[in-house]
Amino acid sequence: MEEERKIYIGNLDYGVTENDLKQVLEGKGLQAKDLKIITDRLTGRSKGFGFAEFENEDDAKKAVSSLDGFDFKGRKLRVNQARKQRPRFERNDNYSRFRK
C-alpha cells in the first residue's frame, strides 16, 4: 500500500527546496519516486515539512532510519512513516459545532 512507502520529513529549515532534499536522499543512496515540501497557500512559504514516496517499503524504512535525527542545515530532521491523511472536517474541532 501507498502508506507504507511514504515518509514524513519534518523540522526543515524554511529555505530548503525539494532539490535540496533530493540531494540529501541521493547522498544516502535513496531515490524518491515523489517528493513534496508543503507550502502555505497564501504566501508560498515552506511550512517546514514535506513528504517523500518511494518505490517500495524497504526504501522508505531505510530513509527513516538514515534520516531521522540527521543534521541538515543546522536542524535535526524528524523523519517517520507518514500517516494516512484524515478528511479535513475531522481535523477541525470547530466544524463539529456546525454539524447537527
CATH of the domain at 35: 3.30.70.330
Is residue 31 assigned to a domain?
Answer: yes
Res 11 pLDDT > 80: yes
Q: How far apart are CA 99 and CA 97, in angstroms?
A: 6
Half-sphere exposure (CA, 13 Å, Cβ side) for 51? 14
Which structural domain range is residue 19 located in? Answer: 2-84
Strands (E), 1-100: 6-10, 34-39, 46-53, 71-72, 75-76, 78-81
Domains identified in the chain, total number: 1
Predicted pLDDT of residue 89: 63
Is residue 54 assigned to a domain?
Answer: yes
User: Phi/psi of residue 56, each to 5°?
Assistant: -145, 165
Tell me what the mean pLDDT of segment 71-99 comes to. 77
Does the pTM of the predicted model rise above 0.85? no
Predicted pLDDT of residue 72: 95
Predicted pLDDT of residue 85: 76
Nearest to 53, CA basis, from 74, 22, 23: 22
> How far is CA 52 from each of CA 45, 65, 99, 100, rounded to the nearest angstrom?
19, 14, 35, 38
Number of helices (H), then strands (E), belonging to the chain: the values are 3, 6
